[in-house]
Amino acid sequence: MPRQIFHSPACKRALALTAALLALGQGVDYRQQIKIPPDEIFSGMLRFAEEKNFTALQTASQLLTPLYQVVKKDFGVDLAASLESGIGTRDGPKTKQTVQQIIFYDLKALFALALAESDRPRSLTYLKTAFFDYSLLAPEIQKKNFTQDQLLRKLFQKSFYLAGSNNPYSEEQLTVQRKELEANLRQLEDLILKTLPQLNPAPATVSKSEGSELQGLSNK
């Protein structure tokens, strides 16, 4: 697959965020293992699915193995198997839907990392990276409900503020703020799924032992 398909302004922005994560310390481990910014890979995969270019889609998908491993472990969802199924049957719509699910689950993983992170700059960077994922899903959301897209963008802005504010807070106020961030991210996730319910994977791709993890933040 030619590397030039990933050379774009979006790629440069994603690289900048990746560099920020590395500068902050450990960063997102699974993303550090992916050689090209995931959001740029996702963008290419969406295009390949539209074009029914299954060979390029499969090649791009192989770059995301670290993400698939995290999603299967943390959410009990086998996205790689679902995508392979669509590629095997040369089903364009199914592969596109699975790519959208991959993007959504990367967003979920980044939300979880942001909540678990005590370092404010790193938490904020996770959320800004998740917004790149949302930007790839936004065109579908806008088709369904333009007003919903505007609301989701406002919720992201609120999340950025809650995660990155450097105002002095007491320990109690920090706890309240963290709970507000968690509620805000849960609302974001729920609204995305409400608008695009197809982002929930088919039961066959969900591990029985870990299926209870499927809703992620929504179950907390």
Asked if 98 and 82 touch (Cβ cutoff 8 Å), the reply is: yes
- The type of residue at 104 is F
Q: What is the pTM of this model?
A: 0.81
pLDDT digits 0-9 by tens, 165-175: 766 566 777 78
Q: Long-range contact list for 28-34, CB < 8 A, 24+ apart?
A: 28/110, 28/113, 28/126, 28/129, 29/66, 30/66, 30/67, 30/69, 30/70, 30/109, 31/66, 31/67, 31/129, 33/66, 34/63, 34/64, 34/66, 34/67
Tell me the pLDDT tens digit for each residue of 139-181.
999 999 999 999 999 999 999 999 987 665 667 777 888 899 9
Rounded CA-CA distance 187/181 in Å is 10
Contact call for residues 141 and 212 (beta carbons, < 8 A): no
- pLDDT recorded at residue 31: 86
- Domain positions in the chain: 3-219
Phi and psi angles of residue 114, each rounded to the nearest 5 degrees, phi first = -60, -40
Question: 102-122 pLDDT, tens per residue?
Answer: 999 999 999 999 998 888 888
The pLDDT of residue 53: 97
